[in-house]
Structure 1
Amino acid sequence: MIEIRKATSADHDQIWEIIHQVISKGDTYVFDPSSPKEKMLDFWCGEGKHTYVATIAGKVAGTFLLKDNQPDLGKHVANGAYMVSPDAAGLGIGRVMGEFSIEEARQLGYKAIQFNFVVKSNERAVRLWEKLGFQIIGEIPDAFDHQQNGLTNAYIMYQKL
């Protein structure tokens, strides 16, 4: 059974392990695959972030964050980032986190969620977000330097809450 809860500092090592595994592939996130733990945990769990973990039998199998997409007059739109442990791929964790985050964003007072950068070749994520009601509202040419495919487009995806 997948459970979602707010992340605590006790989760940081497990969150880092997921982040490290995901960014090391250089195929879905813009972060340098050699980014250090401190930098990534500050980004993922730092000030202004609502960070969560998805657990199975008490072990962190996924993590996501919600934050203001823009400051001040743009803060009513959320932005999010999601990662699933490669060991837990295919178990529905991404879908559960996505569904939870949509409701959580509403509870936090957001009026919409916008993803500024979804790598086009990350077809699994694009399909999931579309199934959860997100629309592609823009495409950025050659925005991502994919480690295997070279320059790759990225989508901007949006859902009004």
Structure 2
Amino acid sequence: MLLREATTDDWSAIWPFFHKIVAAGETFTYPLDLAEDDARDWWILPAPSRTVVAVDDAGTVLGTAKMNRNHMGNASHIASASYMVDPAHAGRGVGRALCEYTIEWARTAGYRAMQFNAVVETNVHAVRLYRALGFDVIGTLPEGFAHPKRGYVGLHIMHRAL
């Protein structure tokens, strides 16, 4: 698996699984009917932020991550990131590779920590991965997320010092 900078040309491979994940409404706080143009603008970020794709030997996009500063001003030393793995390629270590990449990016860019603002507590695979990579749940917003199948569930705020 190769992780590389995403280009606008990659969007046609990202959009189908991005749309499926967002429309399912189980893991992201994005509008369920997010338009493709808006989604692309929210995901493919300009420098100094970064968006990457994970591709296999055939060049198939397996997943993607975007990384950016989490806050501005006197809190601009905190990074954040978001990840999407094509469900057709789940369980192959794509999410872990993307997360490890973003941690190293943040460290190299001089950030002091990473914070995830809204990790849905029922997204147990993501929570388990983030904990395994050194993130802690520092708070949970009770009933902060309207899950389409489980009703109102918590949103974790997760943090990791770099």
Under TM normalisation by the shorter chain, which class is it?
over 0.9
TM-score by length of 1: 0.95
| Distance in 1, Cα, partners of 2:70 & 2:114 | 8
Partner in structure 2 of residue 117 of structure 1: 118
Residues in 2 aligned to 1:47 and 1:102: alpha-carbon distance in whole angstroms: 18
Residue 32 of structure 1 is matched in structure 2 by 31
Offset from partner CA, 1:85-124 (integer Å, 9 cap, x none): 0100111100111111111111122111000000000000
Match of 2:41 in 1: 42
Contiguous gaps of at least 5 residues in structure 2: none
Give, in whole Å, the separation in 2 of the partners of 1:24 and 1:56: 26
Whether the 8 Å CA contact 2:45–2:66 is kept in 1: the answer is: no
Q: CA deviation at 1:47?
A: 4.0
Q: 1:11-26 maps to which residues of 2 (within 5 A)?
A: 11-26=10-25
Which aligned segments of 4 or more residues in structure 1 are displaced greater than 4 angstroms?
none
Please tell me the residue identity of whatever aligns with 1:77.
I
1:1-161 to structure 2, matched below 5 A, reads: 2-47=1-46, 49-57=49-57, 58-161=59-162
SS at match of 2:68: strand
Cα displacement (A) at 1:32: 2.2
Counterparts of 1:121 and 1:25, CA distance in 2: 14
Letter in 1 for 2:9: A
Taking the aligned partners of 1:18 and 1:73, their CA distance within structure 2 comes to 36
Hey, what's the Cα distance between the residues in 2 that align with 1:51 and 1:157?
21
For 1:43, what is the secondary structure of its paired residue?
Answer: helix
Residues 2-25 of structure 1, C-alpha deviations (whole Å, 9 max, x = no match) = 111111111111121221121121
Count of aligned positions: 160
Whether the aligned pair in 2 keeps the contact of 1:21 and 1:85 (CA below 8 Å) is no
Q: Structure 2: which amino acid aligns with 1:51?
A: T
| Cα displacement string for residues 58-97 of structure 1 (whole angstroms, at most 9, x for unaligned residues) | 1111000111101111111001100000100111100111
Give the structure-2-normalised TM-score.
0.95
Q: Percent identity among equivalent residues?
A: 38
